[in-house]
Amino acid sequence: MRTLLILLLSVPLVLCGHLPKKYLLDSYLNNPVVKNFMEYVRIDTSKEENLELAVDFWKRKAQELELDFNVYYPGGLPICVLSWYGTEPSLPSIMLNSHMDVVLVEEEDWTYPPFSAHMDENGDIFGRGTQDDKDVGIMYIEAIREMKKNGIKLKRTFHMTLMPDEERGSRRGMVKFIETKEFKDMNIGFALDEGPVSPGDNIEIMYQDKRPWQMKFTTRGPSGHGSSILASTAMEKLFKLIGVIGTYRDEQKAIMRASDPLDFGAYTSVNVNYVRGGAVPNVIPGRVELIVDTRLAVSTDVTEMSNRVSSWLQEAGNDTSVEFVRKILVSKATKIDDSNPYWVIMRDAVQELGIQIDPIVCPATTDMINIRQLGIPALGFAFKPRTEIRYHAANEYLNVDNLLHGVTVYVAVLSRLGNMSDVAYVQ
């Protein structure tokens, strides 16, 4: 089995050296896996009203593979669950999670339309969600298709879950779903989720998320004519606030530069992502809003961070307030040692394909922060090596070879996970 998988992984690379590029691109465009990926990317799920189009897409995929299909609305948005039942359904199941939603785009910054799924001459498929993370959903379903086609039987049930709002904080998706009877009845023993892009040859596996503290600051002051110089205006306070936050950001940048490049948990990321205030050129605004997105270092104490935020308010001056858009105090880690049988299976399956893995703390936050809080082990994983990191940026892309190789890698991983006997995981 191992030899066959390694050969399958190497076939496209061998072909690339001997066949005309146009022939290869035409063959890729006619590949059913690539067609499904492109169709999915072309659904503009940056808009909530288009989520139902994605639901229809996944319903059709479930019907093609004779998978059980359900859609739930615990928070008012659709959550799809495609289930492939194992031969021993009493065993804890495996969750294969990804999200349907993608972030908004600024179309003028893109070389190709962001929902066109355009493939260039290098085999790069461009589109919002190609890296984050419609690719993972397609890799899951195509790996299941391959296993079913080959008559592979698994002991454990797989539940493929598609979430609607991971990019907006999961409040109407995973956060609500884990409270439902439907989720509890799934009896999840282990979860896989989206994984990061890897610029090098190694693959990174995420075992813990950083804690998001997203804050909306509001500064207030006197308004008046734009020709006057008033004291303690909202903008004046805003400048002070940005200054102290910028100083803290510089401190964290220094920690980042001094740390291992893959130690994302060593520092707190700090970014001013949104400023709003003022209406017309000649009126001093009496109110300005500022949104700051921070992801706390693993070692950061929440009391210490709360005190720091309070000091920022004091520095800005009276009539400055803060409202938390998102604030998570605890983020549990999944064990990445021999005491975790799921980790051992994942590690061995990937390494036997000749792929080296690096366990990391997720530099951002995923749906798995909610799953791990329940004591369920969860890892973020995807096959995206030698790829420029473009998630949430213009010209997001995935190379077609990575898409197809990723399916083969998931076959190796899922076939092992699905045939695990009953095991115990202790948080």
Half-sphere exposure of 9 (CA within 13 A, CB side): 19
* Cα 103 to Cα 106, 115, 132, 395, distances in angstroms: 10, 12, 9, 13
Question: d(Cα 350, Cα 6) in Å, to the nearest integer?
Answer: 11
Strand partners, 287: 220
Q: Which residues does 30 contact at the CB level (< 8 Å), separation at least 6?
A: none
**398 close to 120: Cβ distance less than 8 angstroms:** no
Q: Exposed/middle/buried for 168, CB within 10 Å: 0-12, 13-18, 19+?
A: middle
Q: Other CB atoms closer than 10 Å to residue 68's CB: what's the count?
A: 12
Strands 287-296, 211-220: pairing is: antiparallel
* Cα 228 to Cα 222, 223, 234, distances in angstroms: 11, 10, 14
135 counts as catalytic: no
Provide φ and ψ at 381, rounded to 5°.
Answer: -150, 140
The token duo for 287 is 């109110």
204 counts as catalytic: no
Name the CA dihedral angle for 182, 183, 184, 188, rounded to a multiple of 10 degrees.
Answer: 140
Question: d(Cα 29, Cα 12) in Å, to the nearest integer?
Answer: 14
CB < 8 Å & 24+ apart, contacts of 179-184: 179/74, 180/72, 180/74, 182/70, 182/72, 182/81
Among 44, 101, 132, 193, the active-site one is 101
Question: d(Cα 374, Cα 351) in Å, to the nearest integer?
Answer: 29
Among 124, 135, 166, 396, the active-site one is 166
Query: How many residues are listed for the chain in this entry?
Result: 427
Q: Which residues are catalytic?
A: 101, 166
